[in-house]
């Protein structure tokens, strides 16, 4: 059945058009990572320089713009529709949450992190407590128990936040936050810990959680119990991105637990992204971190043996604010696996 599904998704994507893997390059060093991509195809992440420092970058897919100024290192984690970027700069060993915009660079202060930014320019991060920063003001989102630690990692355009914080017993729990309900702890997949890493406009949250065995699996939740997304055959997986159609990306160990591959999870099925690109591309896609509503996916992999940031352009999905209703396809529907043929359709930018 799994092989049948992989064949179906590959055929569907061929009907949608060719899938291209773009090497995002870097700053002369050996490693680079693409972490998020906005609706215009602007990618942010970080890349190693010739002296082995990591610098935050913004890229349109053709050239990477170095966002680093006087910091020793910097990392870009979020980008909004206008191209403003949220991340972290390190100065004298201290983290500084940083917002890079066309107009200015804003330093949120020593001991802070900035992890995501929405269309309104609201930024989330942490300084011991999770916070939302907007128009020069920082709002403390609180913690899951008195004396605990928390940090926010994602915010949608409605201002809903996802992150994780400490709980008694040296454990961590994912959480959501909204202005109406405050901070709300998520559950786990049977183990001690959970971590929320991304949220879409419908409030669907993804991340990873420990099982009773201690291994971690990627999860999806809409505010209730966590749904285990499984793995690509190995013991562990993690989810890091979700778009508004409910398409999820991350990475998983393969059978044998010696290699990690990037995955795409959609409509109840997890597929290895390496099975969706040309076999002779030279790429091994190892981690996927971000996906936009046009189906562009960013992450990190090896290209001819070197670790590079990648952009996949495009894998098409419908943006309907959640999982879509199947539409009639050109191939007869034969079994539940064929539902995907109606769900995948090209979204023009």
Q: Which domains does the chain have, with CATH numbers?
A: 2-81+158-343 (2.120.10)
DSSP state of 222: S
Mean pLDDT of the chain: 87
| 157 backbone dihedrals φ, ψ, rounded to 5° | -70, -10
Burial grade of 160 (CB within 10 A; 0-12, 13-18, 19 or more)? buried
pLDDT of 335 higher than 60? no
How many angstroms separate the CA atoms of 91 and 48, rounded? 17
Count other Cβ atoms within 10 Å, centred on residue 136.
6
The residue among 103 and 239 whose pLDDT is bigger is 239
Give bridge partners of residue 174 from the DSSP assignment.
Answer: 164
SS3 348: coil
Is the four-CA dihedral 314, 318, 323, 327 of positive or negative sign? negative
pLDDT of 322 higher than 70? no
CB-based contact 245:317 (threshold 8 Å): yes
How many angstroms separate the CA atoms of 114 and 101, rounded? 13
pLDDT band of 18, cuts 50, 70, 90: low
pLDDT of residue 69: 87
Q: Which residues contact 270 (CB under 8 A, 6 or more apart)?
A: 229, 230, 231, 232, 237, 252, 263, 264
Q: Which residues contact 231 (CB under 8 A, 6 or more apart)?
A: 217, 218, 237, 252, 253, 270
For 231-241, letters b (16+ CB in 10 Å) and e give bbbbbbbbbbb
% pLDDT > 70, the chain: 85
Render pLDDT for 143-198 as a digit per residue (tens, 0 to 9).
Answer: 999 999 999 999 999 999 999 999 999 999 999 999 999 999 999 999 999 999 99
Render pLDDT for 227-262 as a digit per residue (tens, 0 to 9).
Answer: 999 999 999 999 999 999 999 999 999 999 999 999
Burial grade of 14 (CB within 10 A; 0-12, 13-18, 19 or more)? exposed
């Amino acid at each position: 059945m799994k092989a049948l599904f992989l064949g179906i998704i590959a055929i569907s994507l061929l009907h949608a058009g060719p899938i291209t893997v773009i090497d995002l390059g870097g700053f002369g060093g050996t490693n680079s990572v693409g972490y998020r991509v906005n609706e215009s195809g602007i990618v942010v992440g970080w890349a190693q320089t010739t002296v082995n420092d990591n610098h935050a970058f913004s890229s349109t897919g053709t050239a990477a713009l170095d966002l680093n100024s006087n910091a020793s290192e910097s990392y870009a984690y979020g980008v909004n529709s206008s191209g403003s970027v949220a991340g972290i700069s390190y100065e004298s060993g201290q983290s500084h949450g940083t917002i890079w915009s066309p107009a200015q660079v804003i330093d949120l202060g020593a001991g802070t992190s900035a992890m995501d930014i929405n269309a309104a320019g609201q930024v989330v991060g942490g300084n011991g407590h999770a916070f939302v920063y907007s128009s020069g003001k920082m709002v403390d989102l609180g913690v899951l128990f008195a004396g605990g630690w928390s940090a926010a990692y994602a915010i949608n355009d409605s201002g809903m936040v996802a992150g994780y914080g400490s709980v008694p017993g040296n454990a961590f729990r994912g959480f959501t936050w909204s202005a109406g309900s405050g901070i709300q702890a998520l559950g786990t997949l049977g183990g001690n810990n959970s971590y929320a890493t991304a949220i879409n406009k419908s409030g669907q949250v993804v991340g990873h959680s420990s099982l009773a065995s201690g291994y971690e699996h990627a999860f999806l939740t809409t505010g209730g119990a966590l749904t285990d997304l499984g793995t690509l055959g190995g013991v562990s997986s993690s989810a890091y991105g979700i778009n508004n159609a409910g398409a999820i990306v991350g990475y998983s160990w393969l059978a044998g637990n010696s290699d990690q591959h990037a995955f795409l999870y959609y409509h109840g099925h997890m597929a290895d992204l390496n099975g969706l690109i040309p076999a002779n591309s030279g790429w091994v896609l190892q981690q996927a971190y971000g996906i936009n509503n046009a189906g562009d996916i960013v992450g990190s992999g090896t290209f001819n043996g070197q670790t590079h940031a990648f952009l996949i352009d495009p894998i098409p999905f419908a943006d309907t604010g959640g999982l879509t209703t199947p539409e009639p396809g050109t191939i007869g529907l034969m079994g539940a696996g064929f539902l995907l043929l109606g769900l995948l359709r090209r979204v023009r930018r």
